[in-house]
Amino acid sequence: MPAYEFAMMFRAMPKSELKTCLKRVSQAIFDRGGIIKNIENLGFKPMPYKTSSHGLVHREANYFVLKVDTATQAVADLKEEYSRDVDIIRQRVYKVQDETENSACTLEEEMLPPAYREDVQKMIKIGKTQVNRFTYKFKYNSGLDYYPFQK
Amino acid sequence: MALLKSLLNRHIFYNTPRVIIPAVRLFSTDVKPAEDDAPADIENPYKKERKQCILCKLNIKPDYKNYRLLSQFQSPYTGRIYGRHITGLCKTKQEQVEAEISKAQNCAYMPYYYKDKTFLKDPKLFDPSNPVRSHRF
Ligand SMILES: [Zn+2]
């Protein structure tokens, strides 16, 4: 099962209500055979922009991040269910990127003068295979006995 | 004929070395074996250190939940992301930062059009008025 991160924003409400809300949210994941690995509480804070949902304008929210392992098919289902939940004002799901080997920094090669950079050399190579519009001259020995374009 | 003779003479005279260098060099001390005297085979000590961007140097992977770090790459006036020529990041890290910033903005962690005022006094990672390549702003 791939790992997902559910970034959830709950409306402003007392702690006991928030608790039941979180239980409801996690129960929906368990019902679809998912596993919650971690719940992070990022706190109650003002949103950088107001959000309107379910007919109300919200300027503050309880921020939570759920780290979930679940089937890919279940994600769309969960999103649809949460969108109907009145207490959730915003939700985003991101797939967790697997830890890839961080390649070496290429800043040194990028700081070279253009002629020494690999991507520029590639561009020059491509440019040489094409007709240069600025230096192209019509050849009069093309078989036509007149100049085909406007002079 | 006389002219030819004098020319030939002069030619020979100029080409012969005046000081005769002896083929054998004389030493007052004993000759050391070649291994002791040979230049040591070491790495170039004056080689410059490889340049690295700040995120690669500190081995930081940008993350949308770490919006305080991401907001340092945002203009405090317009909320726009600074370009690679200003931030001094390598291509991969700049791409990651841009992707994570757009995620964080989407999650309402970060504003779109300004920088969070609590982060305004954070230390500066780069100087926007002193870019690597000049720009038109
Ligand atoms: Zn780098």
| Whole-angstrom distance, CA of residue B90 vs CA of residue A110 | 7
Would you state the pLDDT for residue B28? 66
CB B48 within 8 A of CB B119: no
Q: Do B108 and A9 touch (CB under 8 A)?
A: yes
Would you state the pLDDT for residue A148? 79
| Whole-angstrom distance, CA of residue B97 vs CA of residue B60 | 11
**What residues contact A47, with CB distance under 8 A and at least 6 apart?**
A9, A58, A59, A60, A61, B108
Lowest mean pLDDT segment, chosen from A10-24, A109-123, B7-21: B7-21
CB A85 within 8 A of CB A24: yes
Share of chain A above pLDDT 70, in %: 97
The CA-CA-CA angle for residues A17, A75, A96, to 5°, reads 95
Query: How many angstroms does the Cα of residue B53 sit away from the middle of ligand 1?
Result: 4
- Tell me what the pLDDT averaged over chain A comes to: 89
- On chain B, the residues whose CB falls within 8 A of the CB of A94 are 64, 103
The CA-CA-CA angle for residues A21, A27, A30, to 5°, reads 150
> pLDDT (tens digit, 9 = 90+) per residue, B50-87?
889 999 999 889 999 999 999 999 999 999 999 999 99
Would you state the pLDDT for residue B25? 65
> pLDDT (tens digit, 9 = 90+) per residue, A88-131?
999 999 998 877 766 788 888 888 999 999 999 999 999 999 98
Number of A to B CB contacts under 8 A, please give it: 59
Would you state the pLDDT for residue A99? 73
Q: B69 to chain A nearest CA, in Å?
A: 16
| Whole-angstrom distance, CA of residue A23 vs CA of residue A10 | 13
Would you state the pLDDT for residue B4? 54
Would you state the pLDDT for residue A79? 93
CB B111 within 8 A of CB B105: yes
pTM score, two decimals? 0.76
Tell me, what DSSP letter sits at residue A87? S
Average the pLDDT over B103-119 and give the result.
Answer: 93
Mutate to test the interface with B, among A42, A105, A106, A112 (most CBs of B within 10 A): A105
Lowest mean pLDDT segment, chosen from A76-85, A135-144, B66-75: A135-144
Would you state the pLDDT for residue A116? 93
Q: Do A48 and B50 touch (CB under 8 A)?
A: no
More confident residue, A85 or A137: A85
Would you state the pLDDT for residue A66? 93
Would you state the pLDDT for residue B27? 62
Domain positions in chain A are 3-95
Would you state the pLDDT for residue A98? 76
Would you state the pLDDT for residue B107? 92
Here the ipTM equals: 0.81
Instruction: Report the CATH superfamily, name and number, of domain A3-95.
Output: Ribosomal protein S6/Translation elongation factor EF1B (3.30.70.60)
Look-up of token digits 């002193």: B130
Query: How many angstroms does the Cα of residue B89 sit away from the middle of ligand 1?
Result: 6
